[in-house]
Chains A and B, each alone.
Chain A
Amino acid sequence: MKNGNKKHISKAAWLPLVGKWVFLGIMIIFTLYPVIYTVLGSLKTNAELTQGGGFFPETWHFENYYRAFVQADFTRYTLNSIVVSVSVTLLAVVTCSLSGFILARREFAGKKVLLALYLSMMFVSLGSVTLYPIYELLRALKLNKSIFALIVALTGGQATNVFLVMGFTKGIPKELDEAAIIDGCSLYGVYSRVVLPLSKPILAVVALFSFRNAWNDYITSMIMTISMPKLQTLTVAVVQLKYSVNAAAEWHIMLAGASIAIIPILIVYLFANKQFIAGLTAGAVKG
């Protein structure tokens, strides 16, 4: 058992511990089961999946992945997902960092109005319907035929992240700026040499969550690639399989696609789970 290493555990202490881990065991199975089903299912035949087979695949059909990557064109979608997610992450970090810094450190004309606008947009939530005017605007600007439209729409207004970075920057002592200015730094120097290196922790939070959102997004990616199926990302391509003509015969391919879409983020999570969890509360407390 889990507690075998503890030497003197009285019965009174032992019982709640067993109860705790039985409950946690159930929760862990509940949580992991759909993920395990996806990964193991991606290696089964369609018949095994739909007619009931063992927990593990009878034989491991790695060719499902070959079919997904080659026949269902997932190589392209994976590449799109990587390009989009990385670009969104970079764009979010750079733009939030710049504006968060200046809002925390300088008074300028129109700042109050801007802050009020940013704040109000955090509370006005019209949902995915706002994608339509964005799409139309990008079409008017002739940007709708490139992956750039998706990157812009997915990065979004970033109001929450701007406030997050602004709040964090306010916590960095102003004396450091002043010292740098005395030493001859310009505003750009103060930003790039003093504040930027010190705001790495909060920028890591912005980066992590931007990457996650971009990689996992479905609706924005679907709409922004509606006229350019070649630009679809993994999530869009995976869900589209549900509507393919022979969807009933392709559960194994769907699950292979789903695995391709979730495994990269699982790997990121494996290394950064502490940061994900800590970042969530950093955002909640300050935002």
Chain B
Amino acid sequence: MKDWNSKSALPRSKTMKKNLQAYSFMLPNLILFTVCSLYPVMWTLKYVFFQYGGYGTGTPRFVGLANFARVFRDKVYWESVIHTFTYGFGKVIFIIPLAFFLAFLLNQQKRGNGAAQSIVFLPTIMSSAVMGLVFYLLFNAYNGEVNQYLMAAGLIQRPINWLGKEHAMKTLILTAVWGGVGNYMVYFIAGIQQVSGEAIESARIDGAGRLQTIWYIIIPMLGPILKIILMLAITSAFHDITNVMVLTEGGPTNATMVMSLYGYRYFFPISAAEATVPQYGYGAAVSVISAAIAGLVTVGYLRISKKLDEIY
């Protein structure tokens, strides 16, 4: 700790004053950071070893690794992990190509492109909770406008239960694509604009068609950025919770229960209609395992994409 200050020749009182001055700048944020980031994480890491029902339910009981053992036996939890992967995969597989194609169409400064960009980006600025409620109404089986239109058009004979066990995940993914595609489109546009126009130009001169230009010039040159965008898409899909909570509440019968929501339900009720007895220790263990799974996927993804680099 001696050499933290580059000007070690300064007298002690002066460095002291400098430190105090620096901390006067840091303090406001440091308080927020401690209260809202550091403390809760430490708290969670502590309570994974405890059985605890919350304020006013007696002292927490140390149970060692029992919570983790229970997580590994918890069938519903592992189903929720599978649902998270289904959801994430479904979301990414639609969003990425769609966003890329939109970016390809809209990256140039042409009439109408800016407006189209702004419209496609619009859902990203709206509350996923409020829009989750709107989708809940739209996809309602008997009164929802989606079924009304489909039946009026003669495409279906009887109402489809969009939020029923069979279709709920698809509906959820559709709404997630709606909410996220604009975001990734903007990332792709930023990426495409970094690919030099000259390379595209010279490919054109050499007689490459539009599709050839995309396939042989833009996609390979976009490689590094594509990797980052994919990683953002994958990791963010693991953390989606609000839209699931409002649209399907993880149901019906856990059909759309994702791991973020599964941990949450041991802390708070998912909906006002639900009465749960909180189990903070167990919920903490679930959340820590979920974070570890998300971390593992990210690391695995980085490994694979690095391997792919070596092949090419």
Contacts of B124 in A (CB 8 A): 276, 280
Find out whether the CB atom of B178 lies under 8 angstroms from the CB atom of A102.
no
Question: Is chain B's binding surface mostly helix, strand, loop or mixed?
Answer: helix
B223 within 8 A of A: no
Q: In B1-43, which residues have CB < 8 Å from any A CB?
A: 1, 4-6, 18-19, 21-23, 25-26, 28-30, 32-33, 35-41, 43
Q: Point out the residues of chain A lying under 8 angstroms from B101, CB to CB.
A: 23
Least Cβ–Cβ distance between A217 and chain B, in angstroms: 8
B152 at the interface (CB under 8 A from A): yes
Interface presence of B264 (CB below 8 A): yes
Task: Tell yes or no: A75 within 8 A of B by CB.
Answer: no
Task: Give the segment of B61-69, B129-137, B164-172 that binds chain A.
Answer: B129-137
Residues of B231-271 whose CB lies within 8 A of A: 232, 239, 241-242, 245-246, 260, 263-264, 266-268, 271
Q: Tell me how far the C-beta of A54 lies from the nearest C-beta in chain B, rounded to whole angstroms.
A: 11
A181 within 8 A of B: no
Residue A155 is within 8 A (CB to CB) of chain B in the complex: yes
> Knowing A134-B40, A158-B29, A159-B33 touch, does A219 contact B22 (C-beta < 8 A)?
no
Q: Which of B28, B33, B228 has the most chain A CB atoms closer than 10 A to its own CB?
A: B33
CA distance A130 to B55 in the complex (A): 15
Write out the residue numbers on chain A whose beta carbons fall within 8 Å of the beta carbon of B33: 117-118, 121, 157-159
Establish whether residues A95 and B29, one from each chain, have CB atoms under 8 Å apart when the complex forms. Answer: yes
Cβ distance A241 to chain B, nearest Cβ, rounded Å: 8
Sample of 27 A–B contacts (CB below 8 Å): A16-B210, A24-B106, A50-B143, A99-B26, A108-B5, A112-B4, A118-B33, A124-B41, A126-B287, A126-B291, A129-B266, A137-B35, A152-B32, A152-B35, A162-B29, A216-B126, A216-B128, A216-B130, A218-B128, A218-B129, A219-B241, A238-B129, A239-B129, A254-B133, A265-B127, A273-B118, A280-B187
Chain B residues packing against A (C-beta within 8 Å): 1, 4-6, 18-19, 21-23, 25-26, 28-30, 32-33, 35-41, 43-44, 55, 101-102, 105-106, 111-112, 116-138, 143, 145, 148, 152, 178, 182-183, 186-187, 190, 210, 228, 232, 239, 241-242, 245-246, 260, 263-264, 266-268, 271-273, 280, 283-284, 287-288, 290-291, 294-295
